[in-house]
Structure 1
Amino acid sequence: MITLGPRVLKTGLAVVLALYITKWLGLEPPVFAAIAATFTIQPSIYRSWKQVMEQFQANTLGAIIAVSSIYLFGNSPIVIGLVMVIVIIISLKLKMEGSISLTLITVLVMMSSQEYQGIVAAGNKFIIVLVGMGSAFLVNIIISPPNYNKNFTEKMDSSFRTMSLLIRTAISNELTEKTFQAQWSHLKKDVTKLEDLYKILDEEREKISKLKSLDVREIVVFKQMLACLHQGLKLLDIIEDHFFQSRPEQEETREFDQHLEELINYHEMILLKYTGKIKEIENADLLEESGQFLEGIMEDTFYEREHKLRLVIIGSVIFDYAFQLERLNDLIDQYRKKKQHVEKANLRTILKNPRVLLKK
């Protein structure tokens, strides 16, 4: 089933707005405003603003080159082709790769008239492109602005559920090969999407934090959530490469399975604490247990050398996973305390001055 996301709908609205504005201003042809609007829509407000600024600079440069070329050499097909090449080279030199497509369209629009009508006509076509860019930016910040915090937590929750299934059955080997591969592939795609979402959040934290209130502590928590997810993926890889090749005994299989169950359960409790569904986590000493588990493998003289090395590798990754989870737990505690402190401060402000609440 095909679903229409906000970005798809906003692209359509931006095109409609660009066409109406160009017709209202009497600018021809309006179709190029629609094309510019389509190129400018981006997944975040910061990226949309960045795109507008880059497009404006690149298109201004393209317009200057186009007008200069027409005055000096005319607008024959050969001249237009050479100008296109020059624009591409300059854009690459100025690291404006993302703006090349729309800049070339602008140059083509300005130089494609059968009979050149002067700089006013060229300026008219340049304004058409600017209207399209402006329409896209306006729609992006007004209509359904993206909530990437919410998107990140929802995608993190679904990714963890998939990883939980894989880790809980990694040792017992209960899933069929087809199901395991399907879930594994799905998880990797989700992690890639999470990385993209985090990059957007980090960009907004760095670039527009002065204009938009962003909780830096929460973004740090998101980064650690992603690190824990990566560590879980690494653990799955290591188990796949080493556990069954070590020809484990039944007792070893049971011990590893039990410890992985404790790890994934601890991970789940931490995420539930972040969402406020539970208060505290009892028996949060899994890092120490993981260290003892690894030491037990290293000190056991019963294992053969290759067998022992494989199990030590798995035990090391288990310890790293527990360490990352412990760090996530600490960061969430710090974040919640800071959030509660801010909420109490806001409440005291409202109680002292009720007009603040009326203004909100």
Structure 2
Amino acid sequence: MTIGARVIKTGLAVALAVYISTLFAFPSPIIAAVASIFTIQPSISRSWQQVVDQVQTNVLGALLALAAVRLFGQTPIALGMVCIIVILICIRLRMESNVGLTLVTVVAIMEANNQQGWLFALDRLLMVLTGMGAAFAVNILIFPPRPRKLFMDQIHEAHAQLSLLLRMAISNEMKENVHRDEKEKLQGTLRKLDEAHRLFEEERPLLRGRKQAGARQLILSRHLIKALHQGVDLLEAVEEHYFAVTGAEAWAKRFDQQIEELAKYHEHILLKLAGKMKANAAIEPEEEREGRLINQLSEYLHQNPDEYKRLVFVASTMLEYAFHLRRLDRVTDQVQQRRETEAANVN
């Protein structure tokens, strides 16, 4: 079990929130600690958006709690009604993630008696803001999130898992339980990549140059993920259709060579993106070989179309994978050329 940066930062944010609460002599540091836990996010932009949204919903919740105390007093029914109203408002504003902390603020304020009123509400609201501020400061200063580095690490991890499965798909030499575990790991990594891509979409760089770089990164990440998903589609096509064909062994070597070449091409693209390939290296596989495979398969189908047509599904998925790899290769070249141009202009 590994302890990630977010786990460490959550602990530090709670400690800082409690320490600041002690300095300001707040009655209880619990609210500030809870607020800091809710504010830690995997990116700076999401953390800032969380702070903005939490301030809005907590101020609104505090006002509703004060009004309810004035009108109905401190009754369980009043507390329940205010909580329902706050939840509905958060859902209406599409701020469902802020419901938990806002309800904490509402409960904390409504526990006060009528004489404390506004000062007590302001005191509780300041506790919440203290916790959010502590968490935001920790998120920026301590192990600041680097979603792009994490994203590329996950891309390489997913490709390594996919490449292993693809290279052994036709030969079917891997144990079933190992194959199942590796495929589950791959699916888990792809889910993390989809989440990382959503983080890129949420980021809003302030500088124009950073906006352009962010847009290029967004396009590149979309193609990187798409290529991996196409590789998974090829793997599933082999598992579903190839082994269901009687006499498919005659195509084992040709399919295996083609898949091996595509997996190698995918690997070379990632190496080129990391700057580890020579500038003049020819990494794209020959399209003529793919054409020959299709022609041979077409002739083979004339012999028994009903029996061998499922091989077409595998071949078409293979061509789709090759298409997206070539498109990823072109996008990679464009991104690298743009980076080199910007670096030359800076120097």
Structure 2 residue matching 1:223: 3-state secondary structure: helix
Show the counterpart of 2:338: 338
Preserved contact between residue 291 and residue 319 of structure 1 (Cα < 8 Å):
no
| Cα distance in 2 for residues equivalent to 1:211 and 1:116 | 52
Change (3 A) 1:213 1:142: farther
Q: Which amino acid aligns with 2:125?
A: F
| Cα distance in 2 for residues equivalent to 1:166 and 1:48 | 37
- Map residues 140-151 of structure 1 onto 2, 5 A cutoff: 140-151=139-150
- Map residues 1-80 of structure 1 onto 2, 5 A cutoff: 2-80=1-79
Q: Give how far 1:177 is off.
A: 0.8
Q: Which amino acid aligns with 1:333?
A: D
Q: Which amino acid aligns with 1:210?
A: L
Once the two structures are overlaid, the 10-residue window that deviates more, 148-157 or 109-118, is: 109-118
Structure 2 residue matching 1:185: 3-state secondary structure: helix
| Cα distance in 1 for residues equivalent to 2:321 and 2:263 | 10
CA deviation string 1:135-178 (max 9, x = no partner):
11111122111111111111111111111111001001110111
Q: Give how far 1:302 is off.
A: 4.6
Show the counterpart of 2:219: 220
| Cα distance in 2 for residues equivalent to 1:162 and 1:293 | 26
| Cα distance in 2 for residues equivalent to 1:209 and 1:153 | 23
| Cα distance in 2 for residues equivalent to 1:236 and 1:103 | 46
Change (3 A) 1:259 1:123: same
Q: Give how far 1:28 is off.
A: 1.6
Show the counterpart of 1:306: 306
Show the counterpart of 1:208: 205
Show the counterpart of 2:96: 97
Preserved contact between residue 18 and residue 131 of structure 1 (Cα < 8 Å):
yes
| Cα distance in 2 for residues equivalent to 1:332 and 1:166 | 25
Show the counterpart of 1:358: none
Show the counterpart of 2:290: 290
Q: Give how far 1:210 is off.
A: 3.4
| Cα distance in 1 for residues equivalent to 2:97 and 2:224 | 31
Show the counterpart of 1:190: 189
Which blocks of at least 5 consecutive residues in structure 1 are unaligned? 348-360
Change (3 A) 1:240 1:209: farther
Q: Give how far 1:307 is off.
A: 2.8
Q: Does 1:155 align with 2:154?
A: yes
| Cα distance in 2 for residues equivalent to 1:18 and 1:307 | 69
Q: Does 1:327 align with 2:332?
A: no
Preserved contact between residue 270 and residue 281 of structure 1 (Cα < 8 Å):
no
Q: TM-score, normalised by structure 1?
A: 0.91
Q: Percent identity?
A: 38
Show the counterpart of 1:235: 234
Structure 1 residue matching 2:42: 3-state secondary structure: coil
Structure 2 residue matching 1:300: 3-state secondary structure: helix
Q: Give how far 1:288 is off.
A: 4.5
| Cα distance in 2 for residues equivalent to 1:9 and 1:303 | 64
Tell me the C-alpha RMSD between the 2 structures: 1.8
Once the two structures are overlaid, the 10-residue window that deviates more, 150-159 or 213-222, is: 213-222
Q: Which amino acid aligns with 1:253?
A: A
| Cα distance in 2 for residues equivalent to 1:288 and 1:195 | 34
Which blocks of at least 5 consecutive residues in structure 2 are unaligned? none
Show the counterpart of 1:267: 266
Structure 1 residue matching 2:210: 3-state secondary structure: coil
Show the counterpart of 1:356: none
Q: Which amino acid aligns with 2:64?
A: I
Q: How many residues align?
A: 344
| Cα distance in 1 for residues equivalent to 2:155 and 2:198 | 14
Preserved contact between residue 167 and residue 260 of structure 2 (Cα < 8 Å):
yes
Change (3 A) 1:212 1:114: farther
Q: Which amino acid aligns with 2:141?
A: I
Q: Give how far 1:284 is off.
A: 2.0
Q: Give how far 1:301 is off.
A: 4.5
| Cα distance in 2 for residues equivalent to 1:267 and 1:286 | 14
Once the two structures are overlaid, the 10-residue window that deviates more, 295-304 or 182-191, is: 295-304
Q: Give how far 1:93 is off.
A: 2.1
Show the counterpart of 1:81: 80
Q: Which amino acid aligns with 1:304?
A: N
Q: Give how far 1:290 is off.
A: 2.4
Change (3 A) 1:271 1:248: farther
Q: Which amino acid aligns with 1:308?
A: Y
Preserved contact between residue 57 and residue 98 of structure 2 (Cα < 8 Å):
yes
